[in-house]
Amino acid sequence: MSDQNPLVSLKNAGVCRDGRWLVRGVDLSIAHSEIVTLIGPNGSGKSTTAKMVLDIIQPDEGSRKNRTDLHVGYVPQRIEVDWTLPLTVERFMSITVNLSAKEIDANLELTSVLHLKKAEIRNLSGGELQRVLLARAIARKPNLLVLDEPVQGVDFSGEILLYELIGEIRDELQCGILLISHDLHVVMAATDRVICLNGHVCCQGTPSAVAESMEYKHLFGERALGALAVYQHAHDHQHLPDGTVLHADGSITEHCHPEDGHHHDHENQEEKPNA
């Protein structure tokens, strides 16, 4: 891994809004050809972190760096197109970059939605829209692809297919991929690194293959083996429903930030990817 020169990196980055830290102390880097999965419950700062990576919001503390040749393709969680806007899939493909008719067809073909070329965006189903969004992002030939909960609203077999597709895209474009997921336990198998957020980086590590766990094997079936993996969390603390934090030593504190005086067990971080 070319960690010396990552595409984007955040160092101790945090975002503060109205006196509240949405997320804090995030260290994250994405290199060429690397897949990083960002997981965490709702409101844990996943989207905020992704927006820092994308330079949509600037960190209030810490810093962000990117390579000068960074070229982003972004797959937002969803887009809402008003009835008043006549927007076909074909036209949507080239909203941020000029594409030839051939390029449009080729990329729609790649995500198997070429037959929807003349369809209006607002009439697509959730799964179709995801594939169109993905086709549009990769048509830009990005070296960093950011996907915000791409499997949300997609059924289980669709999820496996989508993960397989993302893996293929990585192999073909050799781009770095940042994947945001709300699923805390099941992640894409090809993921090089999982980062678990809850207002800060709770833990990070590599996923273990589904095959190693018989339980999941039964649960997911053969097809899932290649695409999905299980992530074991290694937290030394627990986030309680009322927002307080229960630590391994039994103490309860108001917040859970690096500055609050507790330290994480980062042993997982050193693990090498299985693949």
Partner 1 sequence: MLDDFFIRALIAGFGIALVTGPLGCFVVWRRLSYFGDTLAHSAVLGVSLGLFLAINITAAVFFVALMISILLIFLQKSGGLASDALLGLLSHSSLALGLVAIAFMSWVRIDLQALLFGDILSVSKFDVGIVWIGGLGVLSVLLFIWRQLFAATVNEELAHAEGMNPDRANMIFMVLMALIIAISMKIVGVLLITALLIIPAATARRIASSPEQMAVLSSFIGIVAVGGGLFSSLTWDTPSGPSIVVMALVLFVLTLFPVVRLLRSRQEG
Q: Give residues in contact with partner 1 (CB under 8 A).
A: 51, 54-56, 71-74, 76, 79, 81-82, 84-88, 91-92, 95-97, 118, 140, 146
Measured from the CB of residue 139, what is the shortest distance to partner 1 in angstroms?
11
| C-alpha distances out from residue 38 to 98, 102, 234, Å | 31, 34, 15
Question: Please, what is the minimum distance in Å from the beta carbon of residue 47 to partner 1?
Answer: 10
Smaller CB distance to partner 1: residue 54 or 234?
54
- Indicate the residue among 74 and 231 with the shorter CB distance to partner 1: 74
CB of 58 to partner 1, least distance (A): 12
- Sequential DSSP letters for the chain: --TTS-SEEEEEEEEEETTEEEEEEEEEEE-TT-EEEEE--TTSSHHHHHHHHTTSS--SEEEEEE-TT--EEEE-S-----TTS--BHHHHHTSSS---HHHHHHHHHHTT-GGGTTSBGGG--HHHHHHHHHHHHHHT--SEEEEESTTTT--HHHHHHHHHHHHHHHHHH--EEEEEES-SSEEETT-SEEEEESSSEEEEE-PEEGGG-HHHHHHH-TTHHHHEEE-----SEEE-TTS-EEETTS-EES---GGGT-----GGGGPPP--
The residue among 11 and 91 lying less far from partner 1, judged by its C-beta, is 91
Q: How far is the CB of 266 from partner 1 (least distance, A)?
A: 30
Nearer to partner 1, 45 or 207 (CB): 45
Cβ within 8 Å of residue 106, ≥6 positions away: none
**Between 87 and 211, CB nearer to partner 1:** 87
Token readout for 204 is 């990070």
Nearer to partner 1, 15 or 189 (CB): 15
Closest CB 233 distance from partner 1, rounded Å: 29
Smallest gap from Cβ 85 to partner 1, in A, equals 5
Nearer to partner 1, 28 or 186 (CB): 28
Residue nearer to partner 1 on the CB measure, 121 or 245: 121
Q: Are 121 and 87 in contact (CB under 8 A)?
A: yes
CB of 149 to partner 1, least distance (A): 14
CB of 7 to partner 1, least distance (A): 14
Among 135, 101, 110, residue whose Cα is nearest residue 121: 135
